Structure 1
Amino acid sequence: MDKTKVLFVCLGNICRSPSAEAVMKALVEKKGLDAKLEIDSAGTAGYHSGEPADQRMQRHAVNRNYNLTSISRKVNAKVDFDYFDFIVAMDDQNVEDLEMMAQNDEQRAKISKMTDYCRTYTHTSVPDPYYGGAAGFELVLDLLEDACEGLIEHIENA
């Protein structure tokens, strides 16, 4: 059986999307779904390609037992849109950027927004915490925990 492949995307791939990747991997492992799901992350821009996640984001994630191990990379439109089943963006601008990268309607149909999967929170996006304080990083993790649970449910019921 082929794994369902999920790509999380934000702007620079150093705060939100690597956190989504780590939260999702932790939930997948906890639920014993490792054999069914493959998780990755990328950015719509390559500003931080080759770099680890933001140190502040890593600190907040570690406090919740998430390990941000991914290395930043830019979305590779020629490969990622065909390879991944779900391309999950953190905000409306990321969705718009991804839709412009997509080459056809089939690829565009794979794009969704992270907060679409939230079960508790009513936010319309996962806000970028890069220029804010500690509360922003905590909010990101709160939203991702909620949305990743919802995404797993969505995938299992698809």
Structure 2
Amino acid sequence: MKKIVFVCLGNICRSPMAEFVMKNLTDQVIVESRATSAWEHGNPIHRGTQQIFKQYQIPYDSHKTSQKMNLETAEECDYIIGMDSQNVADLKKMLPSRLHTKIYPFAEESVPDPWYTGDFEETYRMVTEGCLAWKNRLV
């Protein structure tokens, strides 16, 4: 079974949204999420993302907290998926070059960070479309 990790800046908005949307779409892929920074380390999923989960009845782990990407997780995964182009660039700086072949953008268009935009609905729409594309690619 393939293992993927979605990665965004803080691991409280976009990447956990992608993690639980993907888990809701399929059980044929192992899914996790991480951050490129330690800014939000230990903090829970953003309340805006939690509201999206509740609104769209997406099961999620309410005890999940932000975790930074590390070498061990990167080595275990088949795909490391950055939610925007900056996340992809940061991942390539953080991880050894031998792992760069595992790093992919989530979609052609970067997913805007709702922590800054406040638009969790738009993020959810883009995450759902992207997760469906990844599911079709992997399953």
Query: What's the TM-score once normalised by structure 2's chain length?
Result: 0.93
Secondary structure of 1:127's counterpart equals coil
- Once the two structures are superposed, residues 80-103 of structure 1 have per-residue CA deviations (whole angstroms, 9 ceiling, x without a partner) of 221000111111110000011221
Alpha carbons 1:61, 1:68 under 8 Å: kept: yes
- Which position in structure 2 is the counterpart of 1:14? 12
- Which position in structure 1 is the counterpart of 2:114? 129
Q: Which amino acid aligns with 1:84?
A: C
* CA-atom RMSD in angstroms: 1.2
| Aligned pair partner of 2:73 in 80, 92, 97 | 80
* In 2: Cα distance, 1:38 partner to 1:141 partner: 20
Shift of 1:38: 0.6
Shift of 1:132: 2.8
Q: Which amino acid aligns with 1:75?
A: M
Alpha carbons 1:61, 1:141 under 8 Å: kept: no
Higher relative contact order structure (alpha carbons within 8 Å, sequence separation ≥ 6):
2
Count of residue pairs brought into register by the alignment? 137
Percentage identity across aligned positions? 36
- Which structure has the bigger radius of gyration? 1
Task: State whether structure 2 residue 77 is matched by structure 1 residue 94.
Answer: no
4+ long deviations beyond 4 Å? none
| Aligned pair partner of 1:27 in 11, 25, 28 | 25
Shift of 1:68: 3.7
1:42-121 mapped onto 2 (5 Å cutoff): 42-69=34-61, 70-76=64-70, 78-105=71-98, 107-116=99-108
| Aligned pair partner of 1:144 in 127, 131, 134 | 127
Query: Structure 1: any 5+ residue segments left out of the alignment?
Result: 29-33, 117-123
Secondary structure of 1:47's counterpart equals coil
Q: Which amino acid aligns with 2:92?
A: E
Shift of 1:131: 2.5
Secondary structure of 2:59's counterpart equals coil
Query: Structure 2: any 5+ residue segments left out of the alignment?
Result: none
Q: Which amino acid aligns with 1:67?
A: P
